[in-house]
Amino acid sequence: MDSRSARGPITVDVSITEVCNARCVFCHCWQSEGGGEFTIETWKRFCSELSKEFVVKYVCFGGGEPYRRDGFLEFVRAVHENEMASIIVTNGIAMTERRAAETRDSGNFILNFSLDGFEETHDEMRGFKGCFEQVLRGIDNVRKVSPDHHIALSTMINERNAPEIAAFTRWALDKLAIDCINFQAYQQVTRYEGIKWYENDPLWPKMNETLDRALSELAEIADADKRIFNPPRQFADFRRYFAEPLSDLELVCKAGHTGFALNSKGDVFMCAVEAPVGNIQRAGVSEIFYGEGAGAHRVKSVDCSENCHFLINCYYDKESGRHASYEDRFRELMQSRTVKLSG
């Protein structure tokens, strides 16, 4: 397989800053001091290249906490000016009406609030009291100023929230003004510590009756309610992954094929565990994507089954889900808006 055989990226994930204002027990970002971030000029050039040279449909902003980046919404605006859709993943802290209105005006397409359980659980995991309340207020503020905004929840499954996650999901679907929930399995997201990272991690969920029931209930909810973004069978894969984290789940890795990731310094990652293959401050996106390093990672990904965050969560089997694939969902969502697709 040569590096050109990739059909080109559809998604780009960007950690727009590594700094954060929460204190999550499962994440290291809040210990970062930041610095060395690429500029808005670099970002504009990158977006223009992405849009002209590929069929990228959406750019997902995470971090760190994206709203902590100075001028963050200008980065979002550049995505829309280049006819791509943006997803913002936020901890929801300080989503005032004003910030919600500015987010609407940036052209943002999906605003994704992280919420991992009921109040006590969420606040304990986010490291301070009041985070849950702020998320709920933030959702209300967005609805107030932008009634049609697509609002999502991002919810991870771990040892702490497993006992309540099904009840929490039903409550959220019933009470919150949200359009969808995207579940993620507990993973190593912001720091790579090897394949046995989960050993001795207190949030790694033990495969027992409670977790088994929770995953069955989530699959049932997903079967009945299209607002669950994950295809129902993903919960069966989560079960196999939690039971045997090193087992072969027979998933095909799409990293470096349909998506890639950037950190705040502009380093480009095709694979979750390998070194960067280039930097957008020093090279064009095609040059990086079709370069030797990226090609080598694509070759590796063909039969890699490391069960990393990219494989289990980010790029999970997007094309062969039993229900509408992620791509179809995005197409539907985008057609319901005035966002013009680039391909």
Site residues for ligand SAM per CB under 6 A: 20, 26-27, 62-63, 65, 89-91, 114, 154, 156, 184, 186-187, 189-190
Of residues 59 through 118, those in contact with ligand SF4 by CB under 6 A are 63-65, 91
CB closer to ligand SF4 out of 151 and 311? 311
Which span sits near ligand SF4 by CB under 6 A: 23-31, 33-41, 115-123, 234-242? 23-31
Rounded to whole angstroms, the Cα distance separating 75 from 91 reads 18
Query: Tokens representing 103?
Result: 């987010």
- Rounded to a whole number of angstroms, the minimum distance from the CB of residue 316 to ligand SF4 is 11
CB atoms within 10 A of CB 53: 15
Q: Which of 145, 273, 296, 333 binds ligand SF4 (CB under 6 A)?
A: 273
Q: Which of 115, 142, 253, 277 binds ligand SF4 (CB under 6 A)?
A: 253
DSSP 299-322: HHHTT-----HIIIIITTTTTS-S
CB closer to ligand SF4 out of 302 and 324? 302
Distance of CA 313 to the CA centre of its chain: 8
Residue 60's binding partner out of ligand SF4, ligand SAM, none, with CB under 5 to 8 Å set by partner kind: none
- Rounded to a whole number of angstroms, the minimum distance from the CB of residue 109 to ligand SF4 is 20
Which span sits near ligand SF4 by CB under 6 A: 35-43, 99-107, 269-277, 325-333? 269-277
- Rounded to a whole number of angstroms, the minimum distance from the CB of residue 182 to ligand SAM is 8
- Rounded to a whole number of angstroms, the minimum distance from the CB of residue 20 to ligand SF4 is 3
Q: Between β-strands 180-185 and 259-262, what pairing exists: parallel, antiparallel or unpaired?
A: unpaired
Residue 301's binding partner out of ligand SAM, ligand SF4, none, with CB under 5 to 8 Å set by partner kind: ligand SF4
Residue 169's binding partner out of ligand SAM, ligand SF4, none, with CB under 5 to 8 Å set by partner kind: none
Q: How many helices (H) and strands (E) does the chain have?
A: 12, 9
Query: Tokens representing 185?
Result: 């399995």
Q: Between β-strands 259-262 and 11-17, what pairing exists: parallel, antiparallel or unpaired?
A: parallel
Backbone φ and ψ for 16, nearest 5 degrees, come out as: -75, -20
Tell me the β-bridge partners of 153.
Answer: 113, 181
166 binds ligand SF4 (CB under 6 A): no
**What is the dihedral angle through the alpha carbons of 286, 255, 72, 185, rounded to the nearest 10 degrees?**
180
Burial annotation 88-103 (CB, 10 A radius, 16+ → b, else e): bbbbbbbbeeebbebb
- CA-to-CA dists, residue 59 to 16, 111, 212, 286, 339, angstroms: 11, 12, 34, 16, 13
Binding mask 27-66 for ligand SF4 (x = CB under 6 A): x-xx--------------------------------xxx-
Rounded to whole angstroms, the Cα distance separating 338 from 4 reads 33
- Rounded to a whole number of angstroms, the minimum distance from the CB of residue 269 to ligand SF4 is 9
| Contact partners, residue 236, CB within 8 Å, separation at least 6 | 215, 219
Q: Which of 151, 262, 285, 311 binds ligand SF4 (CB under 6 A)?
A: 311
Query: Tokens representing 20?
Result: 């954060």
CB closer to ligand SF4 out of 108 and 114? 114
Q: Which of 14, 78, 135, 304 binds ligand SF4 (CB under 6 A)?
A: 304
CB closer to ligand SF4 out of 14 and 219? 14
Q: Which residues bind ligand SF4 (CB under 6 A)?
A: 20, 22, 24, 27, 29-30, 63-65, 91, 253, 255, 271-273, 300-301, 304, 306, 308, 310-311
